[in-house]
Amino acid sequence: GRFTSQSARQTFIQFFTEQHEHRPVPSAPVRPRGDPSLLFVNAGMNQFKPILLGCADPRSEMASYRRVVNSQKCVRAGGKHNDLEDVGRDVYHHTFFEMLGNWSFGDYFKVEACSMAWRLLTEVYEIPAERLYVSYFSGDAASGLPADEETRHIWLSLGVHPDHVLPFGMRDNFWEMGETGPCGPCTEIHYDHVGNRNAAALVNADNPDVVEIWNLVFMQHNREADGGLQALPQVSVDTGMGLERLLTVLQNKRSNYDTDLFTPLLSAIHQHSKAPPYRGRTGQADGGRVDMAYRVVADHIRTLCVCIADGVYPGMTGPELVLRRILRRAVRFSTEVLQAPEGMLASLVPTVTHILIMELINVNEAQFLSSLKQGRRVINRTLSKMNRDSVEFPASVAWSLHQNLGFPLDLIDLMLEEHNMTVNKDGLEQLAAENKKLQSQTEGGAGERGLHMDLQSLAELQSRGVPYTNDSLKYDYSL
């Protein structure tokens, strides 16, 4: 495959920021802030809960969010979404994973959310459409919730084969954050790893051949403490795609543990222990037990590193207690099954750091290096042309380094300091103000006019016999 974990993550963020005007938002720490209903952050939407509920502090930055995108560190061990027991047994549930997500808060809704997801998967990531299956909510009489026919219709309009559009009930297609909190019907995208004839029957069947990759939730209700559903002040879109599962697809693997997020870790475990090399077997037969231990240890050491870095230490209550249990499971599997010496767990930390942090720094460095060289030349050329006793560097040049080459302004200051120079501050402020004015003028004008084609207009097109295919939506996007 042509994607690495770094480029797959970055491609997701860029698709939504560059092509669809989403604002990139950093991951929240895994310890939830001020939300006693959660042990750990279990989904990208957790940090946006106040917006969904309509109670975000109007003075906060968050209150202005309409479209955002991020990659969220998630831990699912304990609470409503508890995957601890599956970890190691299967090859696609982790205690720690990264959730890629995009949101619309009272902005776009179902048509746009589905088309963007479909386009990203099939055109940008180039996943063959015939391997994808989508599910939609079939309704729930007991809760008085209707079937989401609208979404079924959207998928068909996007060109998804009718046999690949499948209804499911509350358990799979009504997403809830926890016992209480925002919730709504969802539509999910599943990937058939094999090209099975009966793949449709394997969707949501806990089968490694057909694995859920992306969930698009249409947030419409809040689950109250008494179990009732309250309508939210506005509808929102909340999506989440597991990076590890996406990567397995993009790298043509059958297991998350065979991607570049895990293979260096499995090799490190092999080097540090007396166990035979990892062979990816599942089940309880002898080899399967060893391979399961590999997966558990690899998974748990990632979770330990990420949690400790976010200030959750193994302890006696709440998330701390969960982390202690995770650590003890890892110790048990590494010593008793993998015959690893004492200290093996901690010796894996540099590998986790390498995969999750060092690569990120390397990629960012590589992105800036050529700009830095180019900018250095511009600075030197400008300096050589300047009057000997001038101490003010031209604002226009500094601004262009900032705008065109991505130089942080404080970095330009630092580089000029070495020549006993400063940037002309008044000039710089003026340029910044002009730029801001220009931006606010174009805002609301250009952009995603094409996205606001709603379902009614889709239905109208169809009733007028206009062939409504994938292509008409594509065309719509390029407006």
- List interacting residues with Mg ion (CB under 5 A): 212, 215
Residue 245: contacted member of ligand ATP, Mg ion, none (CB under 5 to 8 Å, by partner type): ligand ATP
Shortest Cβ distance from residue 212 to ligand ATP (Å)? 4
Find the binder of ligand ATP among 240, 248, 257, 262 (CB under 6 A).
Answer: 240
| Interaction between residue 333 and ligand ATP (CB under 6 A) | no
Residues 6+ apart with CB under 8 A from 465: none
CA distances from 205 to 202, 211, 233 (A): 5, 9, 35
Rounded to 10 degrees, what is the CA torsion of 320, 324, 329, 330?
Answer: 90
Closest residue by Cα to residue 302 from 334, 333, 261, 256: 261
User: What would the two tokens of residue 42 be?
Assistant: 């279990």
Tell me the C-alpha distance between 245 and 259, whole Å.
Answer: 9
| Interaction between residue 120 and ligand ATP (CB under 6 A) | no
Shortest Cβ distance from residue 153 to ligand ATP (Å)? 22
Tell me the C-alpha distance between 136 and 162, whole Å.
Answer: 12
Please, which residue, 215 or 222, has the CB nearer to ligand ATP? 215
Residue span binding ligand ATP (CB under 6 A) among the ranges 23-31, 58-66, 208-216, 456-464? 208-216
Find the binder of ligand ATP among 65, 97, 105, 137 (CB under 6 A).
Answer: 97
Tell me the C-alpha distance between 201 and 238, whole Å.
Answer: 27
Shortest Cβ distance from residue 418 to Mg ion (Å)? 54
Helix (H, G, I), strand (E, B) or coil at 161: coil
Q: How many CB atoms lie within 10 A of CB 325?
A: 14
Residue 107: contacted member of ligand ATP, Mg ion, none (CB under 5 to 8 Å, by partner type): none
| Interaction between residue 90 and ligand ATP (CB under 6 A) | no
Residue 110: contacted member of Mg ion, ligand ATP, none (CB under 5 to 8 Å, by partner type): none
Tell me the C-alpha distance between 333 and 339, whole Å.
Answer: 8
| Interaction between residue 25 and ligand ATP (CB under 6 A) | no
Tell me the C-alpha distance between 4 and 6, whole Å.
Answer: 5
Please, which residue, 83 or 107, has the CB nearer to ligand ATP? 83
Residue span binding ligand ATP (CB under 6 A) among the ranges 12-20, 21-29, 237-245, 273-281? 237-245
Residue span binding ligand ATP (CB under 6 A) among the ranges 20-28, 91-99, 130-138, 257-265? 91-99
Find the binder of ligand ATP among 73, 83, 164, 304 (CB under 6 A).
Answer: 83
Residue span binding ligand ATP (CB under 6 A) among the ranges 115-123, 241-249, 342-350, 397-405? 241-249
Residue span binding ligand ATP (CB under 6 A) among the ranges 59-67, 90-98, 316-324, 367-375? 90-98
Please, which residue, 9 or 190, has the CB nearer to Mg ion? 190
Shortest Cβ distance from residue 98 to ligand ATP (Å)? 8
Shortest Cβ distance from residue 117 to Mg ion (Å)? 13
Burial of 441 (0-12, 13-18, 19+ CB in 10 A): exposed
| Interaction between residue 93 and ligand ATP (CB under 6 A) | yes
CB 218 within 8 A of CB 185: yes
Hey, what amino acid is at 17? T
Closest residue by Cα to residue 104 from 451, 444, 470: 451
Find the binder of ligand ATP among 245, 253, 295, 302 (CB under 6 A).
Answer: 245
Within residues 168-187, the interface with ligand ATP by CB under 6 A covers 175
User: What would the two tokens of residue 410 be?
Assistant: 């404080």
Tell me the C-alpha distance between 403 and 344, whole Å.
Answer: 47
**DSSP state letters, 111-170:** HHHHHHHHHIIIIIS---GGGEEEEEE--BTTTTBPP-HHHHHHHHHTT--GGGEEEE-H
Tell me the C-alpha distance between 395 and 424, whole Å.
Answer: 5
Find the binder of ligand ATP among 65, 214, 333, 393 (CB under 6 A).
Answer: 214
Please, which residue, 97 or 399, has the CB nearer to ligand ATP? 97
Strands 96-105 and 229-242: antiparallel
Hey, what amino acid is at 336? E
| Interaction between residue 76 and ligand ATP (CB under 6 A) | yes
Residues forming contacts to ligand ATP in the complex (CB under 6 A) are 76, 81, 83, 93-94, 97, 99, 175, 212-215, 240-242, 244-245
